[in-house]
Chain A
């Protein structure tokens, strides 16, 4: 079975500071990895995804993530956050390339303070 762990339920950070949101996964098969963002009272939208190839993936809004197979991690980073980045961030996997269904982590609320 596959699972996704986001250990930080909330990450407070000051504006213009760097941030890292942590994600670890477990799977006995190869997976695709994703980060989705949910702004208040909205649905989710894709930030970035890792399918294969380069382990550093760049997404929208200046976010990037690094796939680390040995540590089974896919941490999300941004060098300088803005107030508008305040949202909930979800890490997800689709096991074995079964892209018709996603397994989500519990989410991390990024709270950017002025």
Chain B
């Protein structure tokens, strides 16, 4: 069982560069979310999706775009990276029947210099 797969695991970007963090799940889950984890701040929700074609903003959406063209994939795009986006990013998936139990990927550690 692959579960939730995030790529890449590590990335260094220069300020102003763009990139896409990939997230894929093979459990046919309707819900997918992106969080960022920063020291002393816990995890904060960036964007989430309740199904293919449906996305919405979380607590900290500025500087990030998402789309959900398939159930399996939920990429997170940084259009113009800034040092403030240095963080560890986690993708998670779930579905209503799990009643809050989310499956997390292993994370992507992003450094913007």
Partner of A43, one of B58, B59, B100, B106: B106
Contacts of B53 in A (CB 8 A): none
* Minimal beta-carbon separation of B41 from chain A (angstroms): 6
Contacts of A46 in B (CB 8 A): 101-102
Q: Is A44 an interface residue (CB 8 A)?
A: yes
Contacts of A100 in B (CB 8 A): 30-31, 33, 48, 50, 94, 96
Contacts of A99 in B (CB 8 A): 31, 94, 96, 98-100
**What are the interface flags for A21-43 relative to B under an 8 Å C-beta threshold, 1 for contact and 0 otherwise?**
00000000000101000000111
Q: Is A73 an interface residue (CB 8 A)?
A: no
Partner of B105, one of A43, A51, A101, A106: A43
Interface size in chain A (residues, C-beta < 8 A): 24
Partner of A45, one of B42, B58, B104: B104
CB pair B50–A9 under 8 Å, yes or no, is: no
Q: Is A86 an interface residue (CB 8 A)?
A: no
Interface residues of B in 76-113 (CB under 8 A from A): 90, 92, 94, 96, 98-102, 104-107
A4–B40 Cα distance when bound, in Å, is 13
CB pair B40–A101 under 8 Å, yes or no, is: no
**What are the interface flags for A77-114 relative to B under an 8 Å C-beta threshold, 1 for contact and 0 otherwise?**
00000000000001000100001111111110000000
Centre residue among B58, B94, B100 by max chain A CB count within 10 A = B100
* Minimal beta-carbon separation of B53 from chain A (angstroms): 15
CB pair B48–A101 under 8 Å, yes or no, is: yes
A44–B42 Cα distance when bound, in Å, is 12
Query: Besides A43-B105, A90-B42, A102-B43, 4 other CB < 8 A contacts?
Result: A41-B107, A43-B4, A99-B31, A99-B96
